[in-house]
């Protein structure tokens, strides 16, 4: 091979950073590189099997679908070869020169937060680069399945650059020859490598041979009888199938014959894959037909919100040669998806009953998927509603309640379920909206995230009871019994209301005397149950056309000292009374989270203070 055909490329910046970490900073769990390379080999075999079903002409079509591994402790090398799909020149630069999936920034942040390299490497699609933890140099010989493709050699020592050159006489697939660093010679020893493969790769669906000896007995654990499978086996399979480093938190293993033949094994991870917020997990329940993989990550099998679930679904009813495209509109696949979704929701409900503590922990880590399901999976909305949990005015801090439990505690004649959104328990309990519920001994759910309000409005009604925000107007609730001290006379209250309407003008849509307040002088209420203060804020943030300040409905407490004072002040000192009224309104708007013009409010307070002096 003449030198002129050797092309030198630089890794892109992301890869350089990842390599730098991998080579210089990762010393623990070095053995993960074997798992990563075997997993890539197995992916490549799955891809060729799929391609074989769809293409008529495949290079080296008769090769066995297997992974061959060789150790050589004299030459200090480890070789991993698959007869998979192979790579052409373009694939090589794209796949082994760049990081497509999530970028090195996210990778590094995850590494910082997790501190566990092994877990993070697999998750971020940088598995291949883990070879440089142990490699002095790496040679990748590869030949694509495409009939007219050429063979290539990719080589690198992991520092900044790699070369690609054409080579003759390649078989289909990929052969990776790793020359080990002095300190990592152990990976050229058969016994060491054997242990690693048996530990991590025993569920690979293709034969894995080490120096000619087959190591894995291909097992489709999901087709076996539940009673014969140990928890360790389930955990091991989970780790293999999901490429995971955490344990499964729980799993559902079930089979059905009618109306469709299904065998399924679904896992809920311990860690939420989206916890750190920068990754949207892919669907990860693989579809099989009689132990043969149809699609590793089928789209359209399960609803989007179930993307945190890992595992397999096997159905003998699916045609083997179904294409990825036609799968999405296959009625059968949809039916299978429905059965599985239903069973999975039922499984979670049962878990919640049988083991509330485990369920609560699940909820604390995975709630956002369930909430997403309620707002997007119309068919399962009701069942999913049973799974939500919130704190409430009757729970202790940190303890959660379900809608069913709420109903079991409330009086039968109570027609509505109440909730209130606020940043924390303290904020909600110190605000003015809870008073009337407290004095009537009615439970209010505490919602701490904006999305919860959408969830509530999507549920709409639960077991015949409407879900209503506790800051709505017109609730048939009365706290007058709890109002202490003398109240304004009806006449004085009436004239104060009229005066407030004139004074506050367009800033209020209406002013009323309230019977729901005890400790606070006034409150603004939500007229439109579908457009709460929070939703207004969200829409504003999304840059929707929202009027600068929408008029609010103000209610005043006729028993409150400030209100009584205002009633006389409006005649004796109209100017100050006007400022006080404005200030009271702004305080209420602030409580409701809809105060926009804070500077105006601050200036007004200064004016008021000056007047006092």
CB closer to ligand ADP, 125 vs 356: 125
Query: What's the chain's Rg over C-alpha atoms?
Result: 33
Question: Using CB distances below 5 to 8 A depending on partner kind, what does residue 44 bind out of ligand ADP, Mg ion, none?
Answer: ligand ADP
Taken as a whole, the chain contains a residue count of 613
CB closer to ligand ADP, 127 vs 151: 127
- Taking CB under 6 A as the rule, does residue 241 contact ligand ADP? no
CB closer to ligand ADP, 47 vs 192: 47
Helices 190-200 & 32-54, crossing angle to 10 degrees? Answer: 60
Q: Which of 69, 87, 367, 559 binds ligand ADP (CB under 6 A)?
A: 87
Site for Mg ion in 305-334 (CB under 5 A): none
Which residue intervals of 468-543 are DSSP H helices? 490-504, 533-541
Site for Mg ion in 38-77 (CB under 5 A): 40
Burial tier of 1 (Cβ tally within 10 Å: 0-12, 13-18, 19+): exposed
- Taking CB under 6 A as the rule, does residue 59 contact ligand ADP? no
Handedness of CA 128, 129, 132, 138 (dihedral sign): positive
- Taking CB under 6 A as the rule, does residue 352 contact ligand ADP? no
Question: Using CB distances below 5 to 8 A depending on partner kind, what does residue 303 bind out of ligand ADP, Mg ion, none?
Answer: none
Q: Report, in Å, the least distance between residue 222 CB and ligand ADP.
A: 23
Contacts of 240 (CB under 8 A, 6+ apart): 200, 201, 202, 203, 204
The residue sitting closest to ligand ADP, measured at its beta carbon, is 127
Question: Using CB distances below 5 to 8 A depending on partner kind, what does residue 184 bind out of Mg ion, ligand ADP, none?
Answer: none
Residues 10-39 as x/- pattern, contact with ligand ADP by CB under 6 A = --------------------------x---
Number of residues located near Mg ion, criterion CB under 5 A:
2
**By the 8 A CB rule, do 77 and 179 touch?**
yes
Q: Report, in Å, the least distance between residue 185 CB and Mg ion.
A: 24
Q: Report, in Å, the least distance between residue 97 CB and ligand ADP.
A: 10
**176, 273, 348, 351, 352 from 355: Cα distances, Å:** 48, 23, 10, 5, 6
Residues 163-202 as x/- pattern, contact with ligand ADP by CB under 6 A = -----------x----------------------------
Q: Render the burial of 181-196: b for 16+ CB within 10 Å, e for the rest.
A: beebeebbeeebbbeb
Q: Which of 84, 103, 127, 303 binds Mg ion (CB under 5 A)?
A: 127
Backbone angles phi, psi at 515, to 5 degrees: -110, 10
- Taking CB under 6 A as the rule, does residue 45 contact ligand ADP? no
- Taking CB under 5 A as the rule, does residue 84 contact Mg ion? no
**By the 8 A CB rule, do 307 and 253 touch?**
no
Site for Mg ion in 472-531 (CB under 5 A): none
Number of residues located near ligand ADP, criterion CB under 6 A:
15
CB closer to Mg ion, 127 vs 311: 127
Stretch that binds ligand ADP, among 82-90, 310-318, 358-366, 513-521 (CB under 6 A): 82-90
- List the one residue out of 87, 96, 86, 81 whose CA is nearest residue 19: 96
- Taking CB under 6 A as the rule, does residue 514 contact ligand ADP? no
**DSSP 8-state class, residue 140:** E
- Taking CB under 6 A as the rule, does residue 126 contact ligand ADP? yes
Stretch that binds ligand ADP, among 26-34, 123-131, 326-334, 357-365 (CB under 6 A): 123-131
Burial tier of 397 (Cβ tally within 10 Å: 0-12, 13-18, 19+): exposed
The residue sitting closest to Mg ion, measured at its beta carbon, is 127
Q: Report, in Å, the least distance between residue 40 CB and Mg ion.
A: 4
**DSSP 8-state class, residue 202:** T
**By the 8 A CB rule, do 339 and 346 touch?**
no
Q: Which of 33, 128, 234, 251 binds ligand ADP (CB under 6 A)?
A: 128
Contacts of 457 (CB under 8 A, 6+ apart): 467, 530
- Taking CB under 6 A as the rule, does residue 242 contact ligand ADP? no
Helices 450-459 & 356-376, crossing angle to 10 degrees? Answer: 70
- Taking CB under 6 A as the rule, does residue 84 contact ligand ADP? yes
Which residue intervals of 468-573 are DSSP H helices? 490-504, 533-541, 561-572
Q: What is the rounded distance in angstroms from the CA atom of residue 319 to the CA atom of residue 509?
A: 63
| Strand segments (E) across 84-160 | 135-143, 151-156
Question: Using CB distances below 5 to 8 A depending on partner kind, what does residue 251 bind out of Mg ion, ligand ADP, none?
Answer: none
List of residues contacting ligand ADP (CB under 6 A): 36, 40-41, 44, 82, 84-85, 87, 95-96, 125-128, 174
Which residues of the shown chain bind Mg ion in the complex (CB under 5 A)? Answer: 40, 127
């Amino acid at each position: 091979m003449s030198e002129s055909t050797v092309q030198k490329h630089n890794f892109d910046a992301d890869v350089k950073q990842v390599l730098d970490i991998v080579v210089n900073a990762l010393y623990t769990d070095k053995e993960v590189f074997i798992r990563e390379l075997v997993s890539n080999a197995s992916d490549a075999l799955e891809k060729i099997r799929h391609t074989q079903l769809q293409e008529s002409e495949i290079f080296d079509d008769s090769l066995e679908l297997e992974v061959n591994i060789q150790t050589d402790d004299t030459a200090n090398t480890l070789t991993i070869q698959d007869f998979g799909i192979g790579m052409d020149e373009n694939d090589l630069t794209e796949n082994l020169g760049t990081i497509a999936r999530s970028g090195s920034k996210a990778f590094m942040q995850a590494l910082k937060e997790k501190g566990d390299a092994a877990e993070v490497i697999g998750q971020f699609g940088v598995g291949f680069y883990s070879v440089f933890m142990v490699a002095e140099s790496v040679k990748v010989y590869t030949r694509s399945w495409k009939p007219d493709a050429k063979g290539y050699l990719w080589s690198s020592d992991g520092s900044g650059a790699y070369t690609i050159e054409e080579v003759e006489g390649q078989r289909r697939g990929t052969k990776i020859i790793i020359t080990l660093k002095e300190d990592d010679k152990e990976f050229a020893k058969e016994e060491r490598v054997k242990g690693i493969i048996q530990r991590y790769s025993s569920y690979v669906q293709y034969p894995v041979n080490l120096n000619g000896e087959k190591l894995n007995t291909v097992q489709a654990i999901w087709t076996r009888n539940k009673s014969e499978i140990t928890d360790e086996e389930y955990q091991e399979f989970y780790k293999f199938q999901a490429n995971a480093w955490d344990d499964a938190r729980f799993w559902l293993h079930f089979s059905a014959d009618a109306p469709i033949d299904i065998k399924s094994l679904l896992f809920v991870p311990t860690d939420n894959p989206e916890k750190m917020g920068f990754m949207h997990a892919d669907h990860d329940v693989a579809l099989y037909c009689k132990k043969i993989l149809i699609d590793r990550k089928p789209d359209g099998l399960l609803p989007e919100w179930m993307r945190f679930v890992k595992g397999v679904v096997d159905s003998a009813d699916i045609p083997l040669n179904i294409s990825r495209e036609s799968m999405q509109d296959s009625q059968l696949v949809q039916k299978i998806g429905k059965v599985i979704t239903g069973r999975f929701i039922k499984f979670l409900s049962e878990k919640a009953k049988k083991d509330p503590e485990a369920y609560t922990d699940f909820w604390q880590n995975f709630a956002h998927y369930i909430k997403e399901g309620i707002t997007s999976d119309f068919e399962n909305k009701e069942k999913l509603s049973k799974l939500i949990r919130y704190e409430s005015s009757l729970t202790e801090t940190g303890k959660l309640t379900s809608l069913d439990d709420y109903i079991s505690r409330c009086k039968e004649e109570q027609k509505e379920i109440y909730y209130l959104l606020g940043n924390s328990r303290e904020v909600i309990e110190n605000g003015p909206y809870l008073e009337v519920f407290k004095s009537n001994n009615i439970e209010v759910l505490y919602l701490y995230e904006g999305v919860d309000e959408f969830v509530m409005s999507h549920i709409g009604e639960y077991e015949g009871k409407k879900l209503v925000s506790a800051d709505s107007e017109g609730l048939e609730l009365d706290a007058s019994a709890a109002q202490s001290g003398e109240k304004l006379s009806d006449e004085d209250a009436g004239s104060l209301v009229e005066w407030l309407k004139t004074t506050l003008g367009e800033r209020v849509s209406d002013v009323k005397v309230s019977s729901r307040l005890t400790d606070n002088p006034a409150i603004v209420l939500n007229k439109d149950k579908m457009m709460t203060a929070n939703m207004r804020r969200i829409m504003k943030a999304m840059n929707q056309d929202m009027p600068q300040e929408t008029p609010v409905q103000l209610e005043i407490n006729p028993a409150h000292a400030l209100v009584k004072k205002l009633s006389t002040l409006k005649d004796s000192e109209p100017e100050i009374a006007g400022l006080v009224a404005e200030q009271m309104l702004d305080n209420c708007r602030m409580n409701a989270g809809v105060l926009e013009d804070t500077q105006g409010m601050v200036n007004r307070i200064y004016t008021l203070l000056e007047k006092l002096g």
